């Protein structure tokens, strides 16, 4: 498996390396940027397929050794090694299939991650906090950086809403299918009778807009400033540093109050607003054409229930993939690759 792709990538990498020697290309910054990106993607695909092929060869060799081995202790060692290799090969296979999917033009972008508590009151806000922590751990393992742009906690420390910027390599490619309604079923910490509650939160993953990509006219903005406050109205700033932007043509409203500087809050709010406007444009384009993978993974719409987290059964179910995993606790500790790699 993947021998053909391996050969094609090897040839493509050689061709690209030759092009990098051509002064006509190296002097063209835009062309160099495009070729460098494709070269990086091709190298990543090539190296992981090479690893897969090497592990597959190692597996076959071990299976042959096992057939001819008579010593029980050695057989046991070979069987353990075979099992380990099979698990590793399956993981590599998932990664390769993920990497070989035709790229979305936005795949290489950073993302604005927005999470809001839905049905379920305090329990929904607590789960929003738990799931955000999962994304933080997963992002750190990917080598990405997370910057909180705004957050609104309630009295018990849960997130009513939180917005963060995640930067790194191909962040949107990995996280774009997280958009939608996430449902949790568990016994809340505040539940005295041990009853299972069902709560929901919404997640939106927006590709970060580049500075020159979305034009926001000042006359289209209403800017309000106010004093930022913490849970329960507790003041966190005695000056009018919090900023609320209203984009009049679209009706979009963005607030930011995490920084003590009004200028910094406005800058962060503008970043979120630009990304939301870009997402609206993308949504319009998406409706005009058939999505390549819509039948496979759903629309990614925020109103679509995409996943259920059932704590009593230690089960997580993705409703688009129609598949369940029974290691919920492990996945909530950031081990999301086995799900994300399915798309």
Question: The domain containing residue 204 runs over which residues?
Answer: 111-210+292-340
The DSSP bridge partners found for residue 205 are 113
Same domain, 14 and 42: yes
Q: What is the dihedral of CA 82, 84, 85, 91, to 10 degrees?
A: 150
Both 194 and 233 in one domain: the answer is no
- Do the beta carbons of residue 136 and residue 147 sit within 8 Å? no
Q: Please give the Cα distance from 159 to 247 (Å, whole number).
A: 25
Q: Is residue 28 part of a domain?
A: yes
3-state helix, strand, coil in the chain (%, to 5): 50, 20, 30
311 and 192: one domain?
Answer: yes
Q: Domain boundary at 45, 69, 99, which?
A: 99
Q: Could you tell me if 33 and 142 lie in one domain?
A: no
Query: Of 99, 129, 148, which marks where a domain is finished?
Result: 99
> Do 115 and 80 share a structural domain?
no
How far, in Å, CA of 202 to CA of 116, rounded? 5
- Residue 296 is predicted with a pLDDT of 34
Residues 265 and 233 in one domain: yes
As averages over each run of 10 residues, the pLDDT of the chain (343 residues) reads: 92 93 86 88 93 95 91 92 93 84 82 93 93 96 93 90 93 92 89 85 91 83 79 51 90 84 87 89 65 38 78 94 93 91 70
pTM, full prediction: 0.64
Residue 238 is predicted with a pLDDT of 52
Asked if residue 40 and residue 20 are part of one domain, the reply reads: yes
Residue 270 shares a structural domain with residue 146: no
pLDDT at 288: 56
In this structure, are 206 and 329 located in the same domain? yes
Domains held by the chain: number: 3
Contacts 24+ apart (CB under 8 A), 193-200: 196/312, 197/120, 197/123, 198/119, 198/120, 199/117, 199/118, 199/119, 199/120, 199/121, 199/123, 199/124, 199/127, 200/118, 200/119, 200/120, 200/124, 200/305
Domain boundary pick from 253, 270, 286: 286
For residue 188, give the CATH number of its domain: 3.30.70.1660
Residue 269 is encoded by which pair of tokens? Answer: 């709010």
- The two three-digit tokens of residue 94, written as one number: 């998932």
CA dist 243 to 153, 257, 275, Å? 17, 6, 17
**Both 152 and 251 in a single domain?**
no
User: Element (H or E) spanning 183, and its range?
Assistant: strand 180-186
What's the confidence (pLDDT) of residue 301? 45
CB atoms closer than 10 angstroms to residue 313: 11
In a domain, 104, yes or no: no
| Structural domain contains residue 105 | no
Residues 197 and 296 in one domain: yes
Angle subtended at Cα 217 by Cα 113 and Cα 172, rounded to the nearest 5 degrees: 20
Q: Report yes or no on 76 lying in a domain.
A: yes
* pLDDT for 297: 37
Q: Are residues 251 and 335 in the same domain?
A: no
What pLDDT is recorded for position 317? Answer: 96
Sign of the alpha-carbon torsion through 211, 167, 205, 149: negative
């Amino acid at each position: 498996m993947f021998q053909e792709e391996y050969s094609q990538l090897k040839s493509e990498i050689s061709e690209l390396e030759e092009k990098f020697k051509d002064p006509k290309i190296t002097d063209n910054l835009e062309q160099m940027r495009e070729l460098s990106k494709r070269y990086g993607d091709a190298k990543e695909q090539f190296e992981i397929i090479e690893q897969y092929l090497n592990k597959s060869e190692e597996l076959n060799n071990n299976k042959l050794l096992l057939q001819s081995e008579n010593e029980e202790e050695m057989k046991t060692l070979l069987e353990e090694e075979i099992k380990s290799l099979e698990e590793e090969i399956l993981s590599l296979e998932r990664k390769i299939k993920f990497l070989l999917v035709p790229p979305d033009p936005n795949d290489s972008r950073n993302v604005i991650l927005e999470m809001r508590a839905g049905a379920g009151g305090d329990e929904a806000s607590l789960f929003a906090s738990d799931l955000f922590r999962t994304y933080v751990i997963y992002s750190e393992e990917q080598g990405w950086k997370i910057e909180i742009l705004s957050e609104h906690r309630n009295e018990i420390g849960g997130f009513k809403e939180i917005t963060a910027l995640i930067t790194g390599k191909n962040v949107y490619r990995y996280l774009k299918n997280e958009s939608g309604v996430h449902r949790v079923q568990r016994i809340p910490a505040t539940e005295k009778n041990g009853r299972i509650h069902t709560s929901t939160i919404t997640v939106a993953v927006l590709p970060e807009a580049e500075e020159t990509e979305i034009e926001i006219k000042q006359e289209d903005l209403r800017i309000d400033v106010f004093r930022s406050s913490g849970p329960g109205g507790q003041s966190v700033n005695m000056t009018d540093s919090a900023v609320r932007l209203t984009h009049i043509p679209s009706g979009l409203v963005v607030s930011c109050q995490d920084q003590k500087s009004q200028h910094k809050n406005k800058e962060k709010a503008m970043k979120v607003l630009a990304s939301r406007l870009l997402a609206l444009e993308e949504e319009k384009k998406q409706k005009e054409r058939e999505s390549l993978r819509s039948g496979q993974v759903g629309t990614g719409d925020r109103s679509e229930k995409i996943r259920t987290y059932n704590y009593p059964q230690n089960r997580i179910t993705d409703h688009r993939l129609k598949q369940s995993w029974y290691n919920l606790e492990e996945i909530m500790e950031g081990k999301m690759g086995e799900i994300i790699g399915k798309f």
